[in-house]
């Protein structure tokens, strides 16, 4: 599933390509139904100019001169493709420059809709600041994660506490900081949180530099895969040995999500004397 680095790779490229361009036509394929309606797209999308492209966590938003927003969530299998085709195109926007943007989806879990500002603001209210937000302080990060004394990995993935950290990057950041994913948030020291904060930011920024991770169907705006999957620290490394200590990596489901950790480097029970 695309996580924040993948979403940012797409939204930043789309901003570069589409900013200031006028949408001249909307077409749908495979009986795709526009949401809220064809009429709404005709009224607010066709003839509008792209004013901005941004994101709220994993939601990509395209601000239009009609004061409405295209809001698209790629979920598991969605793609936004610029001047690029694939076999699963559902919506195509043509720009008056001759360029076009396709929304592709294999399984229909994602969406590509038009929202008004009120709906977008309501959606924003459900998300905390992202882990790479410039105004997010270490203190905010710690307080967010400690709001509930639950498993650290579960809280890292909770977008209401701190947003933008998906399963891949959570596994790798916890490994880099030598924190067991099943530790309760209140047992983690401030220095461990500091390390986690730095590693979360480091790994998300690396993911962006590598233009995302392709392990399923993710492709960038031009249909090209990312390369960050070649740089995973522990994610997906079931049956591998830990690079630091040689112990076999443990894989288990934690709260239903695939979790990888080194039982030696990331001890589950920390003796109180360490605090």
Chain residues in the site for Zn ion (CB under 5 A): 242, 244-245, 247, 262, 264-265
Q: Give the dihedral of Cα atoms 153, 156, 157, 161; nearest 10 deg.
A: 140
Cis peptide before 36 (omega within 30 of 0): yes
Tell me whether residue 2 is one of the annotated catalytic residues. yes
CB of 199 to Zn ion, least distance (A): 15
Catalytic residue (one of 15, 129, 184, 257)? 257
CB of 241 to Zn ion, least distance (A): 8
Closest to Zn ion by CB, 107 vs 240, is 240
Whether residue 167 contacts residue 157, with contact meaning beta carbons closer than 8 Å, is answered with: yes
In whole angstroms, give the CA distance from residue 266 to residue 11: 35
CB of 157 to Zn ion, least distance (A): 23
CB of 176 to Zn ion, least distance (A): 11
Kindly give, in sequence order, each residue whose CB lies less than 8 Å from that of residue 118, ignoring residues fewer than 6 positions away. Answer: none
Closest to Zn ion by CB, 40 vs 251, is 251
Tell me whether residue 58 is one of the annotated catalytic residues. yes
Whether residue 219 contacts residue 79, with contact meaning beta carbons closer than 8 Å, is answered with: yes
Tell me whether residue 3 is one of the annotated catalytic residues. yes
Closest to Zn ion by CB, 187 vs 264, is 264
Closest to Zn ion by CB, 98 vs 246, is 246
For residue 164, how many C-alpha atoms fall within 13 Å in the half-sphere facing its CB? 26
CB of 205 to Zn ion, least distance (A): 24
Catalytic residue (one of 21, 58, 63, 182)? 58
Closest to Zn ion by CB, 195 vs 264, is 264
Q: Which residue is closest to Zn ion by CB? A: 242
Closest to Zn ion by CB, 222 vs 231, is 231
Whether residue 249 contacts residue 242, with contact meaning beta carbons closer than 8 Å, is answered with: yes
Q: Which residue blocks in the chain are alpha helix, DSSP H?
A: 4-18, 38-44, 117-124, 138-145, 152-157, 167-176, 190-209
In SS3 terms, 250-264 reads as EEEEECCEEEEECCC
CB of 194 to Zn ion, least distance (A): 21
- Name the 3-class secondary structure at 217: coil
| DSSP secondary structure letters along 104-132 | E-SSTTSEEEEE-HHHHHHHHTT---BTT
Write out the catalytic residue numbers.
2-3, 58, 257
């Amino acid at each position: 599933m695309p996580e924040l680095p993948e979403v940012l790779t797409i939204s930043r490229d789309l901003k570069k390509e589409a900013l200031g361009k006028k949408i001249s036509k909307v077409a749908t394929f495979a009986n795709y139904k526009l949401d809220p309606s064809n009429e709404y797209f005709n009224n607010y999308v066709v003839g509008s100019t792209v004013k901005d492209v941004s994101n709220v966590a994993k939601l990509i938003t395209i601000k239009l001169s009609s004061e409405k927003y295209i809001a698209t969530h790629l979920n598991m299998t969605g793609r936004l493709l610029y001047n690029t085709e694939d076999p699963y195109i559902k919506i195509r926007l043509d720009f008056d420059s001759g360029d076009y943007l396709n929304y592709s989806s294999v399984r229909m879990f994602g969406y590509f809709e038009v929202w008004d500002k009120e709906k977008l603001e309501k959606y924003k209210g459900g998300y905390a600041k992202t882990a790479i937000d410039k105004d997010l302080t270490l203190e905010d990060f710690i307080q967010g994660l400690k709001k509930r004394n639950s498993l650290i990995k579960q809280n890292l993935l909770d977008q209401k506490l701190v947003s933008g950290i998906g399963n891949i990057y959570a596994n790798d950041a916890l490994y880099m900081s030598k924190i067991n994913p099943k530790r309760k948030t209140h047992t983690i020291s401030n220095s461990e949180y500091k390390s986690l904060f730095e590693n979360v930011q480091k790994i998300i920024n690396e993911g962006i530099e590598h233009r995302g991770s392709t392990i399923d169907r993710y492709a960038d705006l031009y249909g090209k895969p990312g390369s960050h999957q070649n740089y995973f620290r522990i994610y997906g490394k079931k049956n591998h040995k830990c690079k630091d200590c040689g112990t076999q990596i443990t894989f288990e489901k934690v709260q239903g999500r695939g979790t990888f950790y080194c039982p030696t480097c990331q001890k589950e029970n920390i003796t109180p004397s360490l605090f």
